[in-house]
Amino acid sequence: MGDLLARLFAARGWGAKLQRLALDQAWRRVAGDTVGERTCVLRLSRGVLTVGVSDPVLLQELRAFRGKHLLAALQREVGAACVRRIQFRLR
């Protein structure tokens, strides 16, 4: 039964969607409510997580002071092999 569900999820593209949802949820847990409400996961490519930030002041804070802490916390949630770096971008 598990193999059948795995094949169905892969065929429908749901596996990637579920992984993305899990990553979005992990980001919100790690970032907390205040930061989580003003940011969003844009993409994950080759271990680089790109996070959109709605406020230029918050963008600077994340880049300068909080990025390493958030990366370490996120790696504990999803694994260091999954996310190796976080890139913050104004959206």
**Tens digits of per-residue pLDDT, 45-83?**
999 999 999 999 999 999 999 999 999 999 999 999 999
Of 88, 7, 91, the closest CA to residue 49 belongs to 88
Say if residue 86 is exposed, middle or buried (CB neighbours under 10 Å; 0-12, 13-18, 19+): buried
| Residue 20, pLDDT score | 86
Query: Per-residue pLDDT for 39 more than 90?
Result: yes
